[in-house]
Amino acid sequence: MSFIGYKKGKLHMENVPLDQIAEQYGTPVYCYSAEQLADNFHAYQKAMLDVMPEDKFTICYACKANGNQAIIKLLGKLGAGADVVSNGEMYRAFKAGIKAKKMVFSGVGKTEAELARAIKNDILQINVESESELNMISAIAMKEHKQIHIALRVNPDVDAKTHAKITTGTSENKFGIDIKAAPALYRKAREMGGLTPTGVAVHIGSQLTDLAPYEEAFKRVAALVVELRLQNNVITVVDLGGGIGIPYKDEAPVDLERYAALIRDIIVPLNVHVVLEPGRSIVGNAGVLLTRVLHVKEGYGKKFLILDAGMNDMMRPSLYDAYHAILTCNEAPPKGAKTQYDIVGPICETSDIFLKDATFPRTDAGALLSIMTSGAYGASMSNNYNSRPLAPEVLVSDDQFDVIRKPQKIEDVVNNDVIPDWLA
Tell which wins on pLDDT, 176 or 323: 323
Average pLDDT for residues 187-192, to the nearest whole number? 94
**Percent of all residues in the chain with a pLDDT value above 70, rounded to a whole number:** 96
- pLDDT for 265 equals 98
CB 275 within 8 A of CB 16: no
What does the pLDDT look like over 122-152, one tens digit per residue? 999 999 999 999 999 999 999 999 999 999 9
CB 109 within 8 A of CB 127: no
- pLDDT for 169 equals 40
- CA-nearest of 181, 70, 69, 62 to 131 is 181
Q: Look at residue 161 and tell me whether its pLDDT is greater than 80.
A: no
- Residues 34 and 75: their CA atoms lie apart, in Å, by 9
Q: Is 355 helix (H, G, I), strand (E, B) or coil?
A: strand
Query: What is the residue-averaged pLDDT of the chain?
Result: 94
Q: Look at residue 272 and tell me whether its pLDDT is greater than 70.
A: yes
Q: Is 144 helix (H, G, I), strand (E, B) or coil?
A: coil
- pLDDT for 22 equals 98
**Prior bond of 28 cis (ω within 30°):** yes
* Strand ranges, E, within 184-286: 195-201, 237-239, 273-276
Q: Look at residue 83 and tell me whether its pLDDT is greater than 70.
A: yes
Amino acid letter for position 145 = H
Q: Look at residue 174 and tell me whether its pLDDT is greater than 80.
A: no
Backbone φ and ψ for 294, nearest 5 degrees, come out as: -80, -45
Amino acid letter for position 390 = L
60 is catalytic: no
Give the least confident one: 202-211, 270-279, 345-354, 362-371.
Answer: 202-211
CB 420 within 8 A of CB 58: no
- Residues 341 and 361: their CA atoms lie apart, in Å, by 9
CB 380 within 8 A of CB 312: no
Q: Which residues pair with 149 in a beta bridge?
A: 196
Average pLDDT for residues 154-160, to the nearest whole number? 78
Q: Look at residue 44 and tell me whether its pLDDT is greater than 80.
A: yes
Q: Look at residue 114 and tell me whether its pLDDT is greater than 70.
A: yes
Amino acid letter for position 106 = S
Q: Is 87 helix (H, G, I), strand (E, B) or coil?
A: helix
* Residue 172: pLDDT band with limits 50, 70, 90: low
Q: Look at residue 108 and tell me whether its pLDDT is greater than 60.
A: yes
| β-pair type (4-7, 195-201) | unpaired
Alpha helix stretches (DSSP H) within 96-198: 112-120, 131-143, 182-190
User: What are the C-alpha distances in Å from 385 to residues 2, 126, 316, 349?
Assistant: 33, 33, 15, 11
Who contacts 56 (Cβ-Cβ below 8 Å, separation ≥6)? 273, 274
Backbone φ and ψ for 202, nearest 5 degrees, come out as: -150, 145
**Percent of all residues in the chain with a pLDDT value above 90, rounded to a whole number:** 89
Please give the helix or strand (H or E) that residue 414 lies within, else none: helix 410-414
CB 228 within 8 A of CB 152: no
- pLDDT for 27 equals 98
- CA-nearest of 271, 166, 376 to 263 is 271
- pLDDT for 168 equals 43
- pLDDT for 314 equals 98
Q: What is the DSSP string of 375-410?
A: SSSSGGG---GGGPPPPPEEEEETTEEEEEEPPPPH
Amino acid letter for position 155 = N
- Residues 111 and 79: their CA atoms lie apart, in Å, by 29
